Amino acid sequence: MYEGVLQDLIDELARLPGVGPKGAQRIAFHLLAADPADVRRLAETMQEMKAKATFCQTCGNVSQAERCRICADPRRDPTSICVVEEPKDVVAIERTREFRGRYHVLGGAISPLAGIGPDQLRIRELMGRLADGEVTEVILAMDPNIEGDATAAYLSRLLRSMELSVTRLASGLPVGGDLEYADEVTLGRAFAGRRSTGD
């Protein structure tokens, strides 16, 4: 145990995700030795983020305004929506630069154990965006696990009756990987989702 304020900081830091007691101690000592101006900037940035960051009213992504940068960008394709679980999934897909449409962030996946059903996710908002018929393509980009699969299955049932192209991200082999090292489930999914090599 360290004295007073230092221990308080360690305790606070240790509550953060991904930070254990040792990591918390390291960060605290780093801050203790750091330039006061740097520490002040860090504290201010955190406060500013908390005060200003909000969620886009359209897609639910993290934003600084009522509409996020992507939703406000007129160059993005308005006919295509990619549905994801979390804001960090948007960032991951944006890095690929493959997708030029807009996003819809659900805020999680269906999980009765965690008390999350369709009503706890931003599904009603998604249906609202699809109502006017401008959107013609929906891409479901849920995590390939039990809860993600269930969410995607629920959404595709919901969207079945609409005049839409609904697709789910392919799951399979990692690029640069070796076939022989893939686990059976991944390889099995890659097999099931194989596609024609013809044009």
Partner 1 sequence: MHVSHLSLHDFRSYDTLELGLEPGVTSLLGRNGQGKTNVVEAVDYLSRLSSHRVSGDQPLVRQGAERAVVRAAVTREGRSATLEVEINPGRSNRARVNRAALPRARDLVGLVRTVVFAPDDLALVKGDPSERRRFADDLQVLLTPRYAGTRADYDRVLKQRSSLLRTARTRGGSAAQGMLATLEVWDERLAALGAEIMVTRAAAVEQLVPLLGKAYEAVARGARRDDAVVTYRPSFEIADLTVVADVEQALLAEVARRRQDEIDRGVTLVGPHRDDLLCTLGELPVKGYASHGEGWSFALALRLASYELLRQPGDDPILVLDDVFAELDATRREQLAELVAGAEQVLVTAAVADDVPEALRGRRLTVADGQVTPDG
**129, 143, 149, 189: residue in contact with partner 1 (rule CB under 8 A):** 149
The reply to whether 111 sits near partner 1 by the rule CB under 8 A is: yes
110 lines the binding site for partner 1 (CB under 8 A): yes
If one asks whether residue 89 binds partner 1 (CB under 8 A), the answer comes out as no
Q: Select the span of 20-28, 33-41, 72-80, 104-112 touching partner 1 (CB under 8 A).
A: 104-112
Q: Report the C-alpha gap between 102 and 79 in whole angstroms.
A: 8
CA 172 from centroid of its chain's CA atoms: 20
Q: How far is CA 150 from CA 6, 12, 100, 117, in A?
A: 45, 36, 26, 11
Q: Residue 156: count other Cβ atoms within 10 Å of its Cβ.
A: 15
- Contact flag: residue 1 with partner 1 (CB under 8 A): no
Q: Looking at 17, 74, 112, 198, which residue binds partner 1 (CB under 8 A)?
A: 112
The stretch near partner 1 (CB under 8 A) out of 25-33, 62-70, 74-82, 141-149 is 141-149
Answer yes or no whether residue 70 interacts with partner 1 by CB under 8 A: no
Q: Give whole-number Cα distances, 38 to 8, 11, 34, 42, 141, in Å.
A: 20, 21, 7, 6, 39
Return the exposure string of 84-123: e unless at least 16 CB atoms fall within 10 Å of the residue's CB, then b: bbbbebbeebeeeeebebbbbbbbebbeeeeebeeeebbb
Residue 162, interface with partner 1 (CB under 8 A)? no
* The only residue of 135, 138, 147, 159 in contact with partner 1, by rule CB under 8 A: 147
> Of 175-194, which residues contact partner 1 (CB under 8 A)?
183-185
Shortest distance, position 82 Cβ to partner 1, whole Å = 21
Q: Of the candidates 163, 151, 95, which has an alpha carbon nearest to the alpha carbon of residue 123? A: 151
Contact residues for partner 1 (CB under 8 A)? 110-113, 115, 117-119, 146-147, 149-150, 153-154, 157, 183-185
